[in-house]
């Protein structure tokens, strides 16, 4: 593989949980002070898969004419790699997360509909099954006549669209693009599937029967789920494809019957202390935080409720990291937080340039339950205090010989009988 001079690898991800012909690596590389993104084949048989992205870029940009979308620009390529422009901007899923963070559900669904409306502009042809679509997604998986994108990038989803300062919607990671039409509803479904399953944002939402305009009904959701699991994921040989969360399994989510529930805040201290400007929001463990050179310390708020947290695992690569908490009480590896602002402080000294991995089990408590536990704990402490006072009293000390004699007599009685 051709490697340019004066390069520094900043990040590497290996997608090796697939069939050999689809195994690639993704790297962020710094070259002469500028970052690029490199996709490389990990196997000889994966070269066609990587190099196909060159033709995908051209085909997608032709399709994107007149819309906000734009394919991530390819800067260079070799026998087994393709280099892309490193984009500065905000991913669309981060935009949606911003609305969730502020509990602005109307804003969230307005932004989601804008995204889907833009996808609809691309659906200019009707889908018709062919030999290749049957091979990848299953025999006659989609309904003939569904509105479809003529160039089918099934990963044109929230997390793979970067909005830059000029307002362009840059489409990244377009390796799963096909030169035949793909139904637009399937791409919308995958957007929802990946958004609510990845980081399990689904705990924000109950079941879903469709969004305004009837874009996806429940029968379609069931069918698309089957296509995803038993069609596409099997075709690429994804051995580590995770089971879809219970809420997502056969249902997508209802944007008009929403209750915000629990979330996890991860705060970053870059020298200014912990504040709301330097944090990420997650919705389920495990969590991975990528290495940051500017990170001084880190705080995890595992819930916004009183809770019990068990089996805390905080690691840097293969090293366990020490931590402290504001837990009300702790026994073994279980921590009781009698506050709606539970906090776990992580010491990352010596691990500033390593990826960090967090996992734990969080059991939220309602106010009545947590108050009861706290009261029991207080009562137990008061009783223990009274027992200690009794044991330290003059009368208790004076009667000690009598208690010893009583124990001895009981022992003699039991032995003799």
Q: What is the pLDDT of residues 6-61, one digit of tens each?
A: 788 888 888 877 889 999 999 999 988 899 999 999 999 999 999 999 999 999 99
Torsion angle (degrees, nearest 10) of CA 184, 189, 192, 197: -140
Pairing assessment for the beta strands 169-171 and 69-71 based on DSSP bridges: parallel
Q: Give the list of residues 6+ apart from residue 30 with CB closer than 8 angstroms, or none.
A: 7, 8, 9, 10
For residue 262, name the pLDDT band (cuts at 50, 70, 90).
low
Structure-token pair, residue 137:
């997604």
CA angle 369, 375, 377 (to 5 degrees): 105
- Kindly give the interhelix angle for 105-122 and 92-101, rounded to the nearest 10 degrees: 160
- So what's the pLDDT on residue 256? 31
Pair 45, 20: CB distance under 8 Å: yes
In the block, residue with structure tokens 């109307």: 106
- So what's the pLDDT on residue 108? 84
For residue 217, name the pLDDT band (cuts at 50, 70, 90).
confident
Q: Give the list of residues 6+ apart from residue 124 with CB closer than 8 angstroms, or none.
A: 149, 150
Tell me the C-alpha distance between 147 and 213, whole Å: 15
Q: Give the list of residues 6+ apart from residue 193 with CB closer than 8 angstroms, or none.
A: 224, 225, 228, 244, 248, 252
Residue 291, pLDDT > 60, answer yes
pLDDT tens digits, 81-114: 999 999 999 999 999 888 887 878 788 888 988 9
Residue 404, pLDDT > 90, answer no
Tell me the C-alpha distance between 23 and 45, whole Å: 9
Domain ranges of the chain: 7-53+73-85, 90-235, 264-365, 381-416
Pairing assessment for the beta strands 344-346 and 319-320 based on DSSP bridges: unpaired
Residue 3, pLDDT > 70, answer no
- So what's the pLDDT on residue 260? 40
Residue 243, pLDDT > 60, answer no
- So what's the pLDDT on residue 395? 75
What is the pLDDT of the chain when averaged over all its residues? 81
- So what's the pLDDT on residue 210? 42
Tell me the C-alpha distance between 71 and 55, whole Å: 11
Tell me the C-alpha distance between 417 and 410, whole Å: 11
Buried b (16+ CB within 10 A) or exposed e, 192-218: bbbbbbbbbbbebbeebebbeeebbee
Give backbone dihedrals phi and psi of 267, rounded to 5 degrees, phi first.
-100, 140
Class at the top of the CATH hierarchy for domain 90-235: alpha beta
Residue 63, pLDDT > 50, answer yes
- So what's the pLDDT on residue 382? 76
């Amino acid at each position: 593989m051709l490697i340019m001079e004066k390069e520094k690898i900043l990040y590497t991800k290996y997608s090796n949980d697939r069939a050999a012909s689809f195994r690639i690596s993704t790297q962020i590389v710094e070259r002469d002070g500028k970052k690029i993104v490199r996709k490389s084949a990990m196997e000889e048989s994966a070269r066609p898969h990587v190099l196909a992205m060159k033709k995908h870029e051209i085909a997608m940009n032709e399709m994107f004419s007149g819309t906000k979308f734009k394919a991530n620009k390819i800067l260079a390529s070799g026998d087994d790699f393709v280099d892309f422009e490193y984009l500065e901007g905000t991913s669309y899923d981060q935009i949606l997360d911003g609305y969730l963070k502020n509990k602005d559900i109307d804003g969230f669904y307005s932004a989601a509909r804008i995204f889907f409306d833009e996808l609809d502009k691309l659906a200019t042809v009707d889908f018709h099954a062919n030999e290749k679509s049957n091979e990848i997604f299953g025999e006659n998986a989609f309904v003939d006549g569904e509105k479809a994108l003529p160039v089918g990038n099934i990963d044109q989803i929230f997390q793979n669209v970067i909005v830059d300062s000029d307002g362009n919607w840059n489409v990244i990671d377009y390796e799963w693009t096909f030169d035949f039409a793909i139904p637009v509803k399937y791409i919308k479904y995958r957007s929802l599937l990946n958004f609510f399953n990845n980081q399990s944002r689904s705990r924000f939402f109950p079941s879903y029967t469709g969004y305004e305009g009837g874009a996806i009904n429940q029968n379609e959701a069931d069918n698309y789920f089957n296509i995803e699991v038993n069609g596409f994921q099997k075709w690429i040989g994804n051995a580590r494809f995770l089971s879809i969360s219970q809420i997502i399994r056969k249902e997508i989510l209802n944007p008009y019957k929403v209750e915000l529930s629990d979330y996890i805040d991860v705060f970053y201290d870059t020298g200014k202390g912990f504040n709301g400007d330097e944090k990420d929001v997650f919705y389920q463990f495990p969590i991975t935080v990528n290495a940051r050179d500017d990170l001084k310390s880190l705080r995890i708020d595992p819930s916004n409720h009183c809770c019990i947290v068990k089996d805390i695992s905080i690691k840097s690569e293969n090293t366990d990291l020490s931590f402290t908490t504001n837990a009300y009480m702790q026994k073994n590896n279980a921590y009781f937080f009698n506050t709606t602002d539970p906090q776990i402080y992580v010491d990352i000294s010596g691990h500033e340039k390593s990826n960090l991995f967090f996992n734990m089990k969080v059991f939220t408590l309602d106010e009545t339950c947590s108050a009861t536990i706290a009261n029991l704990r207080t009562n137990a402490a008061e009783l223990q205090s009274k027992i200690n006072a009794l044991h330290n009293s003059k009368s208790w000390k004076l009667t000690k010989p009598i208690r010893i004699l009583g124990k001895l007599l009981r022992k003699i009685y039991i032995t003799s009988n």
